[in-house]
Amino acid sequence: MTDHVPGDAAVVARAEVEPDRPLARAAGRPHVAVLVSLNFPDLTEPVAELVRRFTRNALAALTAAGASYSLVDSSLPRALDAARAARADADALLILGGGDIAAACYGGPDGPVANSYGVDEAADRGSLELIRAYVDARRPVLGICRGSQLVNVAHGGTILPDIDDHRLHRGGPGEPMFLDEKIEVLEGSRLAAIVGAGPLVVRSGHHQAVDRVGDGLVVAARALDGIVEAIEHPTRWIVGVQFHPEDDDGGDRDLGLLVGALLAAAR
């Protein structure tokens, strides 16, 4: 399946994340490139099941909204190389969650990072190159969790390697990773126009977040402790959310709204 995953690790197969009836690419139908790492290093079965469920929900939402998609698995070098060679050949780019971004990609710490997992620097660098191609082509871009962080790094921003007090953002040892988190969506932001301004309860499970916001981007939402929970470009359709709208334990309202807005921009 991948060059990176040892034989005794959990493995996510593409067939496990595909919707039952994906739409074929066709004229007049928006086509979205979906960038995700299905098999990052040290993948455990509980996390693999999250990858399966979240990816399947995101692809099903695109299909239900009338879009076709190309799945780019950045854990497969040949798939990522092919996507980078094709550059921005889709109408929009959706980047899903996964493991941590290698600190070397954003000038982070040289030594070990607390609670680090799933780091694959080659996949990160290839993903950043693909994101920049879509940005340069002025195509709509939506990043979720790791995807939002990659969007920030692609714009020259940095990442907070490990949040000191994680309690608002993820479960502790022996607890479920994902929890309900209250964030504040900033008035006047593009995100507010999509999901509404003010308090919003979202599903979160992260120990990293955007630190210095990338060039040309602005903050669109914050957690109650001030951690950045969303970024966006003020004049172009580039949005990144730290939370997981594709976690159906929190419902599908926000995923439907975000996917709908992405496809409207793509059209």
Enumerate the active-site residues: 145, 244, 246
Compute the Cα dihedral for 56, 59, 64, 68 and give only its sign.
negative
Across 88-126, b (16+ Cβ under 10 Å) vs e yields bebbbbbbbbbbbbbbebbebeeeebeebebbbeebbbb
**Integer Cα distance of 96 and 29 in angstroms:** 21
CA 19 to chain centre: 19
Q: What is the number of residues in the chain?
A: 267
Pairing of strands 31-36, 92-95: parallel
